[in-house]
Amino acid sequence: MKRKFHDGEGRLFKRGVKEPDASAGGRDTEAFLRSFIRMMDLKGLYRQGWLKRGVPENRAESVADHSFGTALLALLLAERLKASPEFLGLKSHRCIEMALVHELGEVYVGDITPVDGVSREEKYIREREAFIKVVEDLPNRDWLLELWEDFEAGRSPEARFIRQLDRLEMGLQAALLKAEGYQRMDEFLESAHRTVTQPDLKALLILAETKAGDTQL
């Protein structure tokens, strides 16, 4: 699992060094900081699929980059699509929250890809355990876990929306890389098309794919 960096918590709170006793307020502050630093490790975790398809490390995005792109799509599109039959009743703020946390389990397990030989069930178990470890010191950990589990289950309008945006963001990134001359991007675009079914979202994906193809002429 290739990373630019990892274990920020271990570097900031040096392993084996006894921390001085702190008041309850001090302990709460430390717990929050530890949790945030854990989450920031996503900045150092490459999206492994790009590396496996020959995209160099200096061009491959991180998991945090992907989460940001998904959240930005949610911010820009949720209000516009909340009356769509697929996402009726969509709550914009919950979409953005879900987009920001949907990959936090990868802090510890890494970015498991379909070619890694891990079953969907095993991937879910690993990522759920890792997610709990990431957020366990936070007072709102149960709410964060509920957001993640909702995304995984795909039952709510927000979860269905973010699951499509998760793939749309991947497809748009693949189109960008294809336009830059990187090969083997079509499989990512095909994967995105299988999930992105809402007409407005599908139109964005088709447009990006068409423009990327135009640059190859």
- Over its length of 217 residues, how does the chain's per-residue pLDDT go in tens digits? 999 999 999 999 986 555 655 565 678 999 999 999 999 999 999 999 999 999 999 999 999 999 999 999 999 999 999 999 999 999 999 999 999 999 999 999 999 999 999 999 999 999 999 999 999 999 999 999 999 999 999 999 999 999 999 999 999 999 999 999 999 999 999 999 999 999 999 999 999 999 998 776 5
The Cα 207–Cα 20 span in angstroms is 57
The residue behind tokens 């274990």 is 7
The Cα 123–Cα 174 span in angstroms is 23
Helices (H), the chain: 8-12, 24-40, 48-52, 63-81, 92-101, 106-109, 120-135, 141-153, 157-179, 186-195, 199-214
β-bridge mates for residue 3, sequence order: 45
Instruction: Provide the pLDDT for residue 171.
Output: 98
Picking from 214, 172, 160, 168, the residue whose alpha carbon sits closest to that of residue 194 is 168
Structure token pair of residue 196: 């992105």
* Domain boundaries along the sequence of the chain: 8-157
Reading phi first (left if > 0) and then psi (alpha if -120 to 50, else beta), residue 181 is in: left
CATH H superfamily, domain 8-157: Hypothetical protein af1432 (1.10.3210.10)
CB 170 within 8 A of CB 192: yes
Instruction: Provide the pLDDT for residue 185.
Output: 97
Specify the 3-state DSSP secondary structure of 3: strand
Instruction: Provide the pLDDT for residue 164.
Output: 98
